[in-house]
Amino acid sequence: MRVKIHSEGTSILILFLVALLIINVPLWIFVRGYLWIPILVTVASVVFYMLVVNFFRSPRRHFDGNQTNAVVASADGKVVALEEVYEPEYLKCRCIQLSVFMSPTNVHANWFPVNGEVIYAKHHPGRFMAAYLPKSSVENERSTVVIRTPEGQLVLMRQVAGAMARRIVTYAEPGTEASVEDHMGFIKFGSRVDLYLPLSTSIYVSIGEPTVGGMTQVGLLNPEKKKEL
């Protein structure tokens, strides 16, 4: 089966391949009498390269459920936070925070969590603490996007850099049409995605549960109970 590589990874994969060839080829040419050395280094190089390829996979995803009011996971990973919090940047009200942590072995493309229109997008510089820590949501480098659904509810999505992540890519801009089947952005090497949902949202996942970006329904918005923001 052909593996599609995300555009964010093309140049990195080429650079890694060149670097690994520079390391491995001289070993096979010049190391004599210690064949185990080039073999060991080559095996380690192949394993490392395949992990990077896995990281930059860009699988096609299709949400099979009813998209009306559905909240869909924005990332592959594991639910690490699910609690009521105050969101101070844009919503300025109490919300349900649902966070998914992505390990380096997960696909790191990010999907829009709901259908609608992007009305706010802002990048914030910050620290690079471990992404699973609660305070990483407000202290780490991050990018915030707010989407207004067709029913008028606001959903905030935040990409958070981690200890290994050094670049957040956000495609969403104000006026962009959001679809749960489209990529919203990409985070390079270990990170998390936070969703801030209305308190009336019905939640379908729990702490520790795995998610598949663009496919796992994590909640359902209830517009008839919405609070004007």
Q: What is the pLDDT of residues 175-221, one digit of tens each?
A: 999 999 898 888 776 688 999 999 999 999 999 999 999 999 999 99
**Given the structure tokens 């985070």, which residue do they identify?**
187
Per-residue model confidence (pLDDT) at position 67 = 94
Q: Which residues contact 214 (CB under 8 A, 6 or more apart)?
A: 61, 62, 63, 72, 73, 111, 180, 181
Is the CB of residue 19 less than 8 Å from the CB of residue 29? no
Per-residue model confidence (pLDDT) at position 148 = 97
Q: How far apart are CA 172 and CA 175, in angstroms?
A: 8
Q: Quick: pLDDT tens for 139-172.
A: 678 899 999 999 999 999 999 876 555 568 888 8
Is the CB of residue 180 less than 8 Å from the CB of residue 112? yes
**Four-CA torsion 212, 73, 141, 83, nearest 10 degrees:** -120
* Amino acid identity for residue 188 in this structure: K
Per-residue model confidence (pLDDT) at position 229 = 41
Per-residue model confidence (pLDDT) at position 104 = 75
Q: How far apart are CA 228 and CA 154, in angstroms?
A: 9
| 126: confidence class by pLDDT, cuts 50, 70, 90 | low
Instruction: Exactly one of 191, 200, 202, 206 is catalytic; name it.
Output: 191
Determine if residue 224 is left, alpha or beta; phi over 0 gives left, psi from -120 to 50 gives alpha, anything else beta. alpha
- The arithmetic mean of pLDDT across residues 112-138, rounded, is 75
Per-residue model confidence (pLDDT) at position 224 = 73
Per-residue model confidence (pLDDT) at position 187 = 79
Q: Quick: pLDDT tens for 32-45.
A: 778 888 889 999 99
99 is catalytic: no
List of long-range contacts for 163-169, beta carbons under 8 Å, 24+ apart: 163/128, 163/129, 163/130, 163/131, 163/190, 164/104, 164/128, 164/189, 164/190, 164/191, 165/128, 165/131, 165/141, 165/189, 165/190, 165/191, 166/128, 168/123, 168/141, 168/142, 168/143, 169/8
Is the CB of residue 77 less than 8 Å from the CB of residue 103? yes
Judge whether residue 85 has pLDDT over 90: yes
Per-residue model confidence (pLDDT) at position 70 = 96
Per-residue model confidence (pLDDT) at position 129 = 53
Q: Quick: pLDDT tens for 10-68.
A: 777 788 889 999 999 988 888 877 888 888 999 999 988 877 777 677 777 789 899 99
Per-residue model confidence (pLDDT) at position 34 = 84
